[in-house]
Structure 1
Amino acid sequence: MQYAEAIDYLYSRLPVFHRIGAKAIKPGLGNTLLLCEALGNPQHQFTSIHVAGTNGKGSTSHMLAAIYQSAGYRVGLYTSPHLRSFTERIRLNGQPIPEDEVARFVAQHQGLIERIEPSFFEVTVAMAFAFFARETVDVALIEVGLGGRLDSTNVITPVASVITNIGYDHTDILGDTLPLIAGEKAGIIKPGVPVLIGETHPETEGIFRGVAESLQAPIAFADQQYTLRDNGIVEGLRQVQVWQDSGSVYSLALDLLGDYQLKNLPAVLATVAVLQPLFPVSPAAEQDGLAAVTSLTGLKGRFQTLQDHPRVIADTAHNRPGLEALFHTIRSLAYTQLRIVIGLVADKDRSHILDVLPQTAAYYFCQAQTPRSLPADVLQAEAALIGRRGHVFTDVNAALSAALQDSAADDLILITGSNYTIAELPNL
């Protein structure tokens, strides 16, 4: 079996979330446990760090991976969804899993897949765990797909659980209140395993403390341990001053330029600190890793500049908290006219998204080539009801071309709204 055949088989045989949404989810951990048992329970054969949260869990996972790579460890990284290639989901020291490894896994376990009938995501999780076990990684960063309690990744027993933040997203699956959503995310907390919470919130703090206490899991709220000051972008890196509750003060530089990364950074620093006895990291390795996340781990689509004059930025923000944080960064930039290329998925609660969009921007509405996409004309009509007006385009590249044609050199073009929209950009 060749790689292309393996991918075609997975997409055609299995329910895929990015195509059909919540209908692709197989409730419970049963299928993943069956897959792992048949594979020799690889999830117990490597050390892992589990990362959940509404926003920032991918960036947090990549930052931690970059730090541990810089410290000389052999690092696995599992994230989802991918942008351009399926192999991006499973990385070893920043390099995507080889295509022939994917093909080998699918060919070898085709009978198992057809017997258990798992979801696409369940198979990719099992594939990642088998790969990390075979490659004897020192540590693997495992990003939750959705929620936590019933997510397929929740068959691991990590050395630390990280929950970045809680916001409204996937409310049809996780619940429509912050405490309900927090309860699902708290499902990754394990008995006796340290848990790091990125952001303290009055509606969710009690949920996390209660679950941690019941499981005797040491808990820390990272934003209470670290205070950060943004010193702006200098020579292509965001400069950050860090005050630790111990009294130490030091500086870091991030190559992830969105100022919303300052919300993710405390959880990263707290995780590295709590795991020092297991995985010692020098201050130099921490600094080097954070200054080179994109080159070390291949992270894309996070406030990524695609060109200058006019400046074109791509960002995968796709829910209200993410977009609010994105536009906070945008407001700090200098430009004459903001032009927004945007496409959304149809199963989002758009009433919580559209009013975040700046009213003075020029809009270019598009849709990704996936069945979950909201038709661009529907998006245009809904946006017009609240005064966000623009034209409709068949895809993101046609929309970007029109925005570039309309732009002066000092305009700013932002492409956002969906991972699937960003994924179709050829120069990402």
Structure 2
Amino acid sequence: MTYRETLDFLYTQLPMFQRIGAAAFKKDLTNIKLLLDALGNPERQFASIHVAGTNGKGSVTHLLGAALQAHGYKTGLYTSPHYKDFRERIKINGDYIPRREVVRFVDAIQPLLATVQPSFFEITVAMAFNWFAQSKVDMAVVEVGLGGRLDSTNVLLPELAVITNISLDHQQFLGDTLPEIAAEKAGIIKPGVPVVIGETQRETAPVFRATAQAQNAPIYFADQLFQVKARHSDLATTTYEVFRQQQLYTPELRTQLHGPYQYLNLQTALAALEVWQHHQPQHLLPFSAVEQGWAQLRTLTRFQGRWQVLAENPRILVDSAHNEGGLRAILDTLNQQTGQLHIVLGVVNDKKLDEVLPLFPKGARYYFAKAAIPRGLPAEELRATAATYQLHGRSYTSVKNALRAARRAASPADTIFVGGSIFTVAEVL
């Protein structure tokens, strides 16, 4: 197969959560274990850090990867989903997996497909682990796809587990309460493997402590170790002041991360690196590598889609936050922008609109669109539901058309925000 034919096969012939939703969700790890067994268990051939959480896990994964890469580690990153290019999911030192390797891998596993019947996600996980092992990475930072306990990435025995935070999302798979969701995320905690929890949350901390105790796993809460405060932001970087247990740690930490929520992810990443080195003393990672890596985060890791400024006059901002916790942080900051706020909004069809639409400002002008995936909610349906929350605007035939309309309507002092789902954002990057 050619590369294009290989992608078409992956997207159309295999169950894919981003395309069809719940039907692609597997309730056990049987398939991924069969795949990896047939490949010679590549997941056992490299060291790893495993990152889960409702919000921030992608940012934390890239922060850890950038710091490791800056210090000279050959660093694999596995993240999902992708924005524009399938190969974004699998990177080594910021370089995408080669097209020829994608083709070779899918061709090689064809004999397994009839018996194993893997999903799209299971194949991409196996592809990533195989590429990391084949390339002899020093460390892989692996982001959980959904949940934790039953996620295909949960075949790893990592050197460190990280759980960023817990918010309501994917309740149909993970549970309807924060403790239930936390229990699923806590499934990545392994016997004796230290775990860093990003945020101390009253409802979820007992779940994590109990799981860690049962697994004899040392547990740390990042926000009790590090406190990070934003000091200055421009288009290039945001500068933070860092405290360790209330004592000044560094007065100026520059990063290419923007967004009102990123201080939480920085706290989590700082704690993760400290805990990892404490329990793996053979790894030495000077703070200078952290500073260098985070100042060049987007350059080193090709990180995108989070509080990303696409243009000025008017300012066009995109962010792929899509659940209550992530959207609340975004919208609190958007409400502080000067000028008129224009919001290009598209969501998936299983989104609980009654949880997210009340968060949006009534004074904004809305441009509703359906992302170009089968799971996208029709724009007119979104517009009609939003109107019941006093969120008014027009529906458009595509995300790009909605953005064009917003740009025509906006004055130079206004702000245009594009979001609601990663698939909406992907169409304007």
With the shorter chain as reference, the TM-score category is over 0.9
For residue 147 of structure 2, give the secondary structure of its aligned residue in structure 1. Answer: coil
Q: What one-letter code is carried by the residue in structure 2 that aligns with 1:38?
A: A
Task: Identify the residue that residue 293 of structure 1 maps to in structure 2.
Answer: 297
Q: What one-letter code is carried by the residue in structure 2 that aligns with 1:109?
A: I
What is the aligned-residue identity percentage? Answer: 49
Task: Identify the residue that residue 117 of structure 1 maps to in structure 2.
Answer: 117
Task: Identify the residue that residue 399 of structure 1 maps to in structure 2.
Answer: 402
Aligned residue among 315, 338, 341 for 1:338: 341
How far residue 10 of structure 1 moved from its aligned partner, in angstroms, is 1.4
Task: Identify the residue that residue 318 of structure 2 maps to in structure 1.
Answer: 314
For residue 28 of structure 2, give the secondary structure of its aligned residue in structure 1. Answer: coil
Distance of 1:35 and 1:272 partners within structure 2: 31
Residue-by-residue CA offset, 1:383-420 (whole Å, 9 max, x unaligned): 10010000000111000000000010111000000111
How far residue 246 of structure 1 moved from its aligned partner, in angstroms, is 7.8
Aligned residue among 363, 367, 388 for 2:366: 363
Task: Identify the residue that residue 329 of structure 1 maps to in structure 2.
Answer: 333
Is 1:417 aligned with 2:429?
A: no
Given that residues 46 and 138 in structure 1 are in contact (C-alpha distance below 8 angstroms), is that contact kept between their aligned partners in structure 2? yes
Residue-by-residue CA offset, 1:43-88 (whole Å, 9 max, x unaligned): 0000000000001101110111011111110000000000001110
Distance of 1:423 and 1:222 partners within structure 2: 31
Q: What one-letter code is carried by the residue in structure 2 that aligns with 1:339?
A: H
Q: What one-letter code is carried by the residue in structure 1 that aligns with 2:409?
A: D
Given that residues 260 and 329 in structure 1 are in contact (C-alpha distance below 8 angstroms), is that contact kept between their aligned partners in structure 2? no
Is 1:67 aligned with 2:71?
A: no
Q: What one-letter code is carried by the residue in structure 1 that aligns with 2:372?
A: Q
Distance of 2:332 and 2:194 partners within structure 1: 32
Distance of 1:329 and 1:241 partners within structure 2: 19
Task: Identify the residue that residue 309 of structure 2 maps to in structure 1.
Answer: 305
Distance of 1:235 and 1:110 partners within structure 2: 46
Q: Following TM superposition, where does structure 1 have runs of at least 4 consecutive aligned residues deviating by more than 4 angstroms?
A: none
Distance of 2:30 and 2:92 partners within structure 1: 27
How far residue 12 of structure 1 moved from its aligned partner, in angstroms, is 2.1
Given that residues 147 and 181 in structure 1 are in contact (C-alpha distance below 8 angstroms), is that contact kept between their aligned partners in structure 2? yes
Residue-by-residue CA offset, 1:208-262 (whole Å, 9 max, x unaligned): 0000001110000000111122213157311111110283520311211102111
Q: What one-letter code is carried by the residue in structure 2 that aligns with 1:351?
A: D
Task: Identify the residue that residue 221 of structure 2 maps to in structure 1.
Answer: 221
Residue-by-residue CA offset, 1:303-361 (whole Å, 9 max, x unaligned): 1111110110111011111101112332444x210000000001011111000111110
Distance of 1:161 and 1:213 partners within structure 2: 14
For residue 150 of structure 1, give the secondary structure of its aligned residue in structure 2. Answer: coil
Task: Identify the residue that residue 102 of structure 1 maps to in structure 2.
Answer: 102
Q: What one-letter code is carried by the residue in structure 1 that aligns with 2:164?
A: T
Task: Identify the residue that residue 233 of structure 1 maps to in structure 2.
Answer: 233
Task: Identify the residue that residue 378 of structure 1 maps to in structure 2.
Answer: 381
Aligned residue among 386, 391, 397 for 1:388: 391
Q: What one-letter code is carried by the residue in structure 2 that aligns with 1:295?
A: T
Report the TM-score when normalising by structure 1.
Answer: 0.98
**What are the equivalent positions in structure 2 for 1:57-96 lying under 5 Å apart?**
57-96=57-96
Q: What one-letter code is carried by the residue in structure 1 that aligns with 2:413?
A: D
Task: Identify the residue that residue 280 of structure 1 maps to in structure 2.
Answer: 284
Report the TM-score when normalising by structure 2.
Answer: 0.97
Distance of 1:301 and 1:87 partners within structure 2: 15
Given that residues 342 and 365 in structure 2 are in contact (C-alpha distance below 8 angstroms), is that contact kept between their aligned partners in structure 1? yes
For residue 201 of structure 1, give the secondary structure of its aligned residue in structure 2. Answer: coil
Distance of 1:217 and 1:26 partners within structure 2: 27
Given that residues 26 and 118 in structure 1 are in contact (C-alpha distance below 8 angstroms), is that contact kept between their aligned partners in structure 2? no
Which is worse superposed, 237-246 or 204-213? Answer: 237-246
Q: What one-letter code is carried by the residue in structure 2 that aligns with 1:273?
A: E
Distance of 2:340 and 2:423 partners within structure 1: 25
Which is worse superposed, 8-17 or 379-388? Answer: 8-17
Structure 1 alignment gaps of length 5 or more = none
CA-atom RMSD in angstroms:
1.1
